Structure 1
Amino acid sequence: MSSTFEKYFVPEPSHFPIFGSAALLLIGSGAAMWLNRVSPGSWMVAAGFATLIYMLFGWFGQVIRESEGGKYGKQVDKSFRWSMGWFIFSEVMFFAAFFGVLFYVRVLAIPELSEGKSAMLWEGFQRAWPSGGPLVEEAFSPMHAWGIPAINTLILLTSGATLTWAHWGLLKGARGQLINGLALTVLLGVIFLGLQAYEYSHAYHEMNLKLSSGIYGSTFFMLTGFHGMHVTIGATMLTVILVRCLKGHFTAERHFAFEAVAWYWHFVDVVWLFLFVVVYWL
Structure 2
Amino acid sequence: MTYLHDMPPAAVPTLLDRRRWLQGALSLLACAQTPVLAAPRVPPRADSPPVGVDSLVLRSGLTARWTTAMRQDMGWKAQWQAHDSLVLLRMLEDGSLPMAVFLGGPEADALDRSGLIHDRRTLALTDVLLVGPKDDLAGLRGESDWARAIMQVLSARVAGVADWEAPPPSHALATWIDQWSQGFTRQGALVRPASRPAPADSVAYTVVPRAAWRASAERDRKVWLSTAPEQALSLQVARSFRSSHPGAGLLVKWLEAPLARRQVRALAPGWRLPGA
Larger radius of gyration: 2
Same fold, TM-score > 0.5, yes or no: no
Query: TM-score w.r.t. structure 1 length?
Result: 0.25
Which protein has the bigger strand share? Answer: 2
Structure ranking higher on relative contact order (CA contacts 8 Å, 6+ apart): 2
Query: TM-score w.r.t. structure 2 length?
Result: 0.26
Which protein has the bigger helix share? Answer: 1
